[in-house]
Every structure is written in structure tokens, then in C-alpha cells.
A and B are shown apart, each in its own frame.
Chain A
Amino acid sequence: MRMGRSEHNPLTLAWESALCLHRRGWWSYALHLCHDPDDAEDLLHDALTSILERNILPDEVAPGYVYRVMRNARISRGRREKTRRAHAPRLAPHSERCTTPDVRGFDVALASLTDDQREVITLKHAGGLTLEQIALATGRPLGTVAGQHRRAIESLRTALMNREESEV
């Protein structure tokens, strides 16, 4: 089968393989930022478009770069949404298509974390970033990120232990 010219392009191939490699991390973080699968997909499209316009290869950027672009895109989208909401009524939510993970068991403990703590946990464990890379991706100081991670772990431990005690 003859392939299109863009499919041979090293940039396209590199970002496609990066997508395969990091799809779980990117998707988890997009869901964390948007809380809605459709918005998360739009956010990923925005982020990838912005990255591809710069003609950079995945190897040329820091591991947390895509997360940083997603975060910035989310902030920009948030501003646009705020303007849009001011002028138009919000559409009814579509819970049917929503594939956000069920809030059960371990998810209950995760849901008890603050937004910043959950962001750090998502980037570290779903995205596989180090604390230094998370600091770069979120634009927060390393000490702050490390503190948020430590407090998140403490909160999770407490929540899980309370759950075990209540089950006994």
C-alpha cells in the first residue's frame, strides 16, 4: 500500500510514536485538567497543534513539555470558556458518554486529595515524570511540588488506613 507523504515525515512519525508511548499519561492528565473526556480530547488536539506548529521533535524537548503545553492550553481554553459562558447559556452535560473512571476504592482516596496534589500524583504515576520534571511542567518550585507529593502520599495513607479500619 502506498503511504501518503506526511506519513513518511520524521516529525509525524516521532510524534505518533510519542503518542503511543505516553497516551495513558497524556490522557490521564488531560482528564485531570478537564474532568470531561470530550474537553480532554479537544485539549490534546489544541496542545498537539500548538507543538506541531513549532516543528520540534519529541527528543528536542523536556519530558514534561507536552504536559506544560496542555496546562497552558487549558488555561487559555478556560479564559475563552469564561468569555463564552458570559454570553451564552451552558449546554446540558452529557454524562452518558463520559468515561471518567469510577470513584471507588482507591479512587475515593485519590478524590480526597486537593487539585494540586492530584495533579502531582497524576503526573508522577500516570505520566512517569520525576518531581523536577513536574516542577518544570507545572511552573511551580521544586520544593512546593515535593511538599505537595509528600502531603498527597500522607493523605492517601490516612484515607486507605481509615477505609481498612472501617471495613474491619
Chain B
Amino acid sequence: MTDEHLDSMLDGHAWPEMPEGVSARLRARIARERARTPRRWFALAAMLLLGLGVGVVGGLAVGRAETPSGLDPSLIAHPEAPARTKRLFFDTPVFASRTHTRESVSTDWGTLRTSQGVEP
């Protein structure tokens, strides 16, 4: 019995045929998976956007909470401080200080100047 003979026996062997039911279910799966793929991408993009939104809002909230204590109001109230910085600190709702207003910092300026050694 030669190798070629065995090869042809194996090629002609009755290898199991896929049942029709299995084949039909696989075809249905192919069609269904393909139809589902765009929705998956859409869901992924929506989740990314949601994550980005939550990150931005959270970051701004943390920034708002930390800005008043993190910034030195005496430097912002300094007469030579850039007007843009003052606007950002006092007038932008997100960064606006809850503990310092234009008026309170201006009123306390003399105290701040002496206590922190900042000269106008």
C-alpha cells in the first residue's frame, strides 16, 4: 500500500458532513453578526463620548472646588495682575471663588498685603 494510495483513501474518506440545520444556523449567525456590528460601534462611540463628558464636567467641578484654595487671592487682586486673570477668577462661573469676591478681596487687600508681604 503506497503513500499515494493512502492519500487517495483519506481524500475519498467519508468525512462528516455538516448537517443542514447547523449550516442554516451558521448562515443566520453570519447575517446577524454583520447587522449587529455597526450598532456595536455606535454604542462604543456613545460610551466614549459619555466618558469624555463625565470627565470634562468632573474635571471642571474639581477645578472649581479647588481653585479658591489653590489660588492666592492676594496675587489676583494685585493692581498689576492681568485683567484676564481677574476676569477668569471672579467672573467665570466655573472658576468663580466661593470664598473671595472682587469686593471682599479689595476690602481685605490691606490685610493681605501686610500678612503675605505682597506690595502693590
Contact = CB atoms under 8 A, between A and B. Distances in A.
Interface stretch (A3-11, A67-75, A86-94, A136-144): A3-11
Q: Which 6 A-B pairs have the closest CB atoms?
A: A27-B18, A126-B15, A125-B10, A6-B35, A52-B33, A23-B18
A12 interface: yes
A157 interface: yes
B13 interface: yes
A26 B30 CA distance: 15
A84 interface: no
Contacts of A122: 15
Interface stretch (B19-27, B49-57, B63-71, B81-89): B19-27
B3 to A, nearest CB: 6
Contact of B25 (A41, A53, A161): A41
Nearest to A14: B30
Contacts of A25: 15
B16 interface: yes
A156 B10 CA distance: 10
Contacts of A106: 9, 13
Contact of A45 (B10, B14, B19, B26): B26
Interface residues of B, number: 28
Which of B16, B26, B30, B40 has the most CB atoms of chain A within a 10 A radius of its CB?
A: B30
Interface residues of A, number: 41
Contacts of B14: 101
Given A16-B27, A24-B17, A49 B33 contact: yes
B17 A52 contact: no
A146 interface: no
B40 to A, nearest CB: 8
B26 A48 contact: yes
Given A6-B35, A52-B33, A53-B33, 4 more contacts: A6-B31, A28-B15, A52-B30, A110-B13
Given A41-B25, A44-B22, A24 B33 contact: no
